[in-house]
Amino acid sequence: MQNSGIEILYPHKETDVCNFASMIVMKNETVHCFPGIDAHHEILELAGISDIRSAYLTPNFAKIEIIPVKGKEPNDWRLIVDECTDPSWFTASHKRACFAALHGLLKKEAKGCEIVFPDGSWRKIFRINGVLHRKGGPASTTVEKDGSWTEEYYCNGKFHRINGPALIEVGTDGDWFEDYYVKGKLIRSISGCAPPNN
């Protein structure tokens, strides 16, 4: 790899869970990322990029994660190339393009951003410096295509809500589930069923 100091993550040896901020960088230095989306397969789908790889061709994109480091500014966060092989074309210029995209994400997510998926489901999130956080409302709201929905309340990346549940899940049948948290500590859980139709 031409740019030293870039970490290569081999997913089969470590976790395959995507983190904030996830993005796809192309060989031509174009970066694809979407507010609220941390799964590489979702980014590829939204960008219209096929993930079918040939053993005989060098991929023209790489999966990237830039992970927040406590106490450090975004420019000093940890950049990981999340691939099983080393994209030899990745240079310092690609790294700069990724961090420029990161700064755009941070601005959008602090104001709240909504993403609509091709299947009709949608998600709205609020993040500050890569962690879920919002005062006076849910930091994450998800509505699935079947009509089920979830609301999550966070303070500095931890489930937190004083006067109500921090996690609310409602199914299409009306059954519901609530978790009450304060500063990330689970206080109680309750659930209920929708009244039967007569």
Q: Is the dihedral of CA 119, 125, 129, 132 positive or negative?
A: negative
Task: Specify which of 49-58, 67-76, 185-194 reaches the highest per-range mean pLDDT.
Answer: 185-194
- Top pLDDT among 138 and 14 is at 138
For the stretch 182-191, pLDDT in tens is 999 999 999 9
- For the question of whether the overall pTM of this predicted structure is more than 0.75, the answer is no
Q: How far is CA 158 from CA 16, 18, 89, 155, in A?
A: 22, 18, 38, 5
The domain limits of the chain are: 7-111, 133-192
DSSP for the chain, written as a single string: --STTPEE--TTTS-----SSEEEEETTS-EE--TT---HHHHHHHHT------TTS--SEEEEEEE--TTS-GGGSEEEE--SS--TT--HHHHHHHHHHHHHHHHHHHH-EEEE-TTS-EEEE-EETTEE--SSS-SEEEE-TTS-EEEE-EETTEE--SSS-SEEEE-TTS-EEEEEEETTEEEEEEEE-PPPP-
Res 46 pLDDT > 60: yes
Task: Specify which of 57-66, 71-80, 81-90, 94-103 reaches the highest per-range mean pLDDT.
Answer: 94-103
Contact 36, 130 (CB under 8 A): no
pLDDT category of residue 4 using cuts at 50, 70 and 90: very low
Q: Provide, rounded to the nearest whole percent, the portion of the chain with pLDDT above 70.
A: 85
| The residue type at 113 | C
pLDDT of 176: 93
Reply yes or no: is the peptide bond before residue 21 cis, omega within 30 of 0: yes
pLDDT category of residue 3 using cuts at 50, 70 and 90: very low
pLDDT of 198: 44
